[in-house]
Amino acid sequence: MAAKRKKKKRLARPGKSRRASAGSLKPRSATATKLPKEAVTLLVQLRPREGQETLLEAELRALLVPTRREDGCLTYDLHRSAEAPSAFLLHEVWASREAHSLHTNTPHFLRWNARKDALLASRDLTYWKLIL
């Protein structure tokens, strides 16, 4: 009679887990791929007028899909403040200032631009260039 072999439990080697862990996810940052030399990053901080938080969020969400489809749009992400939940941040990376300028003439941006003053208490926009 042949002896039955016990199946050994395979232990996962460090760094070889079958499941993706937070440490093994690939970064989504712009530095994960080489940016064009003319690339520009925009950080836009937005604070709603009293009682306009929900409508502001809806308007910002409506910009995401059409903007991400634009030529020259490398990143277009919407964030909510962890400390002041009614505050929002748009993190945008464009292939060039020209690409961003073209974005400001699209129908979805023009719609936003016509509505933003009624929704915003403040808006701070800064342009950045990647160093490294």
**Residue 69 falls inside a structural domain:** yes
Distances (CA, A) of 41 to 34, 70, 94, 102: 14, 15, 6, 15
Helices (H) and strands (E) in the chain — how many of each? 3, 4
Residue 132 is predicted with a pLDDT of 76
pTM: 0.74
Q: Kindly state whether residue 16 falls inside one of the protein's structural domains.
A: no
CATH code for the domain of 81: 3.30.70.100
The pLDDT value recorded for residue 19 is: 40
Q: Does the residue 66 lie in any domain?
A: yes
Domain assignment present for 89: yes
Residue 27 lies in a domain: no
User: What are the residues facing 79 on neighbouring strands?
Assistant: 89
Largest pairwise CA distance in the chain:
85
Q: Is residue 81 part of a domain?
A: yes
Residue 63 has pLDDT above 90, yes or no: yes
Q: Which domain holds residue 68?
A: 36-128
Question: Using one digit for the tens of pLDDT, what is the confidence trace for 20-29?
Answer: 444 544 445 5
* Domains identified in the chain, total number: 1
Model pLDDT, residue 1:
54
Any domain includes 7:
no
Q: Does residue 115 register a pLDDT over 50?
A: yes
- Looking at residue 32, its pLDDT comes to 56
What per-residue confidence (pLDDT) applies to 45? 98
Query: Could you tell me which residue, 46 or 15, shows the higher pLDDT?
Result: 46
| 113 located within any domain | yes
